Amino acid sequence: MRRRRALWPYALASIVLFFGLWQGVVSAGLVSNFVLPSPVEVLDRLWTMANRPFAGFLIQEHLASSFLRFFYGFALAAIIGIPVGLAMGRFRLFEEFFTPLFESYRYIAPLAWVPFAALWFGTGIGGPIMVIFTGAFAPCVLNAYRGAQLVDRHLIEAAQTHGAGEFRIAREVLLPGALPSIVAGLRVSAGLGWQSLIGAELIVVSSGIGYVLVVGQQNLSPDIVMASMLVIGLTGLVIDYLLRFAEARVRAKWGAA
């Protein structure tokens, strides 16, 4: 048996080195802060943006409008994607009809939908929601499909012999059986949806956290860009944490996927 070495000094060294180098390089004047602002300057900029409107709104208002778009798109993807996936797992004809469509759809990068989304639903709230939807849809379908395939056939047959209709089978046998897999898919979905939203806002929108990024870029202000990246990263982390929590609850109640 090897002796257990304490590992925390390495982790501490890493963090200290990362921020120390970053701050040091800027303080020493090795790079201009038009190129790389120091960590302190980024936090300071974030504080300013939280108190004075930038690009029309306070940063938390931009974040709120982004989050709302994200929520609608994500909810839509789940509401449409999960039943489609369950149906693919339940009915063979549907599975065989839908698989080729789904496979070809999967190869289209979500951001490639931006032009059509903007032409069809406008650049306000409809277009971005469609882009989030296209990003978040695939994992919803795929995991509901896989989950439904895992459901014991005998349970479905037992429900049928007791006279359950298709809707009741879906609600009381398929959905609970597939739930662990579905929730795992939702986590992947949320990550992709959040990322697609940033992409959509970079290209066509005039509010939201992605738009702040673009304005920061146009003003050549890396401090604004990096402060927004920080906010985007933290929000993504919170969304992931909430879904991880939901996943743990579902696993505890309905078993592992």
Binding-site ranges for another protein (CB under 8 A):
5, 7-8, 10-11, 13-15, 18, 35, 93, 96-101, 104, 107-116, 118-120, 194-196, 198-199, 202-203, 210, 213-214, 216-217, 220-222, 225-226, 228-230, 232-234, 236-237, 240
Nearer to another protein, 176 or 240 (CB): 240
Smallest gap from residue 6 Cβ to another protein (A): 9
Nearer to another protein, 23 or 217 (CB): 217
Smallest gap from residue 98 Cβ to another protein (A): 8
Q: For residues 108 and 110, what is the distance between their CA atoms, to the nearest angstrom?
A: 6
Nearer to another protein, 81 or 127 (CB): 127
Query: What token pair was written down for 178?
Result: 């597939």
Smallest gap from residue 251 Cβ to another protein (A): 20
Nearer to another protein, 100 or 163 (CB): 100
Nearer to another protein, 124 or 176 (CB): 124
By CB neighbour count within 10 A (0-12 exposed, 13-18 middle, 19+ buried), where does 226 fall?
A: buried
DSSP states along 199-210:
HHHHHT-SSSHH
Report angle CA 126, 129, 133 to the nearest 5 degrees: 135
Q: How many CB atoms lie within 10 A of CB 180?
A: 20
Which parts of the chain fold into alpha helices (H)? 8-27, 39-51, 59-90, 92-106, 114-121, 127-150, 153-161, 166-169, 175-203, 209-218, 222-254
Smallest gap from residue 107 Cβ to another protein (A): 4
Smallest gap from residue 120 Cβ to another protein (A): 6
